[in-house]
Amino acid sequence: MALRGGRVPSRTSHKHRRGNPFLGLANPALVEEISPPLRALARHPVPPEVAYQLVHDELLLDGSARLNLATFVTTWMEPQANQLMAESVDKNMIDKDEYPQTAAIENRCVAILADLWHAPDSEVATGCSTTGSSEACMLAGMALKRRWATRTGHDPARTPNLVMGANVQVCWEKFCRYWDVEARLVPVEGDRLHLDAAQAVAHCDENTIGVVAILGSTFDGSYEPVADIAAALDELASSGGPDIPIHVDGASGAMIAPFLDPELIWDFRLPRVASINTSGHKYGLVYPGVGWAIWRDADALPQELVFNVNYLGGDMPTFALNFSRPGSEVIAQYYTFFRLGFDGYKAVQQASRDVATSLAQRIEQLGPYRLITRGDELPVFAFTTTDGVTDWDVFAVSRGLREHGWQVPAYTFPADRTDLAVLRIVCRHGFSSDLADLFMRDLTQVTNTLIADVDKAGRSGPGSFHH
């Protein structure tokens, strides 16, 4: 939601805007010009096909999802999923009484994820669907805060803090601001571009409600060392220090690691992991917006945060910030679980990782780029220019790629590596190796043009124009 929309033309100008004549002056049923409302409701209704076509046409101006290598969010689903979503978009998720089957399907999804993430007893694990990882992280953070308050006797003189790498996604800073928790952001430094165990423990104290470990970092796709962080916190607790739970932000990685890195221990197999979130709409392979939050057992989710809603005359426990929301995303998640099974997910994620690792390698071989990550954790990697490149930078590359239609963001790392500027590529289902070939062709051309421009400027001698 944009709190303040972009600038719109003044109220008078829209009268003179040209609409599509097929839907206006050239249509004998209408014979008037129709243009979409910009600032206020129009006086009169218009036929549905006109409204459809004009909104549809306007949306063509949005970028092409297939060429968007910036987003983590699903941009393609099967037609059967589209159909199920259209059939269930009128079901209100909160109305457990009227839609008991949708509620049952949500519970099955929770059980499936609890099992996938090795909850000790997936019968006891509790969880819920959300609108995305952001809401799931808010809920998990609230649970951590409440447990800490109970542990420390609800002492108003204490200020809670949450320990996490400076590379966290913005939702955690949002959580801290909205819920009056100090965001204890551990800076990145040198080649350590995410949180490590030593730094995590060094930042903890009696008022730490939890440590957030990210699987994996949105900055470069790397997994944070959850098991090492857990071991270090175990040691802290057993040496008389505070006993601090971990929340794993698995927005992307919680739907990658179970399939591609089964030997990596990052989930409820670590007793210190209290809760995990994921975005169903990222590598869960569902359209936006669905996310999930799962707690290892009832103890990890304070009961006073749970509200009961009516369900078939009985009580159904719920934990959410939203109330009404469409059932279609949860149905689509269940469809995808059903449709793909373990092996199907594995095949889809492996294909994305294969594209990511081979693309990263080819970019490295171009010469002027240095890989920060290699796409072998999340199918996501970041790269920068080598030290020898001084006359152009990653921002110029991003702009050049944009001219070919590719959206590849360039940005700097957080404190204390704001000097490091990178490009990041997110490989998702739909970004095939054929598209990757086209991308390489364009990246090579953009790079060569940047180098040639510098050479030209160099040849014209001192005082020449550099841009």
Cα–Cα dist 271/100, whole Å: 33
Of the residues 106, 249, 267, 329, which one makes contact with ligand PLP according to CB under 6 A: 249
Interface with ligand PLP, residue 252, by CB under 6 A: yes
Of the residues 68, 208, 279, 352, which one makes contact with ligand PLP according to CB under 6 A: 279
Total number of residues that touch ligand PLP (CB under 6 A):
14
**Per DSSP, what are the bridge partners of residue 177?**
none
CB of 214 to ligand PLP, least distance (A): 5
**Which residues ranging from 69 to 98 are in contact with ligand PLP (CB under 6 A)?**
72
Q: Are 177 and 214 in contact (CB under 8 A)?
A: no
Q: 3 vs 6, 40, 288, 378, 444, CA distance in Å?
A: 9, 17, 20, 32, 39
Which of 70, 454 has the CB closer to ligand PLP?
70
Interface with ligand PLP, residue 68, by CB under 6 A: no
**Which residues ranging from 149 to 188 are in contact with ligand PLP (CB under 6 A)?**
169, 171
Provide the mask over 360-399, with x wherever binding to ligand PLP is found by CB under 6 A and - wherever it is not.
Answer: ----------------------------------------
Q: Are 274 and 226 in contact (CB under 8 A)?
A: no
Interface with ligand PLP, residue 291, by CB under 6 A: yes
Of the residues 19, 24, 127, 132, which one makes contact with ligand PLP according to CB under 6 A: 132
Q: What angle do CA 242, 251, 320 make, to 5 degrees?
A: 75
Interface with ligand PLP, residue 213, by CB under 6 A: no
**H/E segment holding residue 93:** none
Which of 223, 335 has the CB closer to ligand PLP?
223
Of the residues 218, 222, 336, 447, which one makes contact with ligand PLP according to CB under 6 A: 218
- First vs last C-alpha separation in the chain: 36
Which of 149, 183 has the CB closer to ligand PLP?
183
CB of 244 to ligand PLP, least distance (A): 20
Q: What angle do CA 373, 379, 382 make, to 5 degrees?
A: 30
- The string of DSSP codes covering 133-184 is HHHHHHHHHHHHHHHHHHHTT--TT---EEEEETT--HHHHHHHHHTT-EEE
CB of 170 to ligand PLP, least distance (A): 8
DSSP 8-state class, residue 264:
-
Query: Could you tell me the two tokens for 237?
Result: 């607790």
* Chain positions contacting ligand PLP, by CB under 6 A: 72, 132-134, 137, 169, 171, 214, 218, 249, 251-252, 279, 291
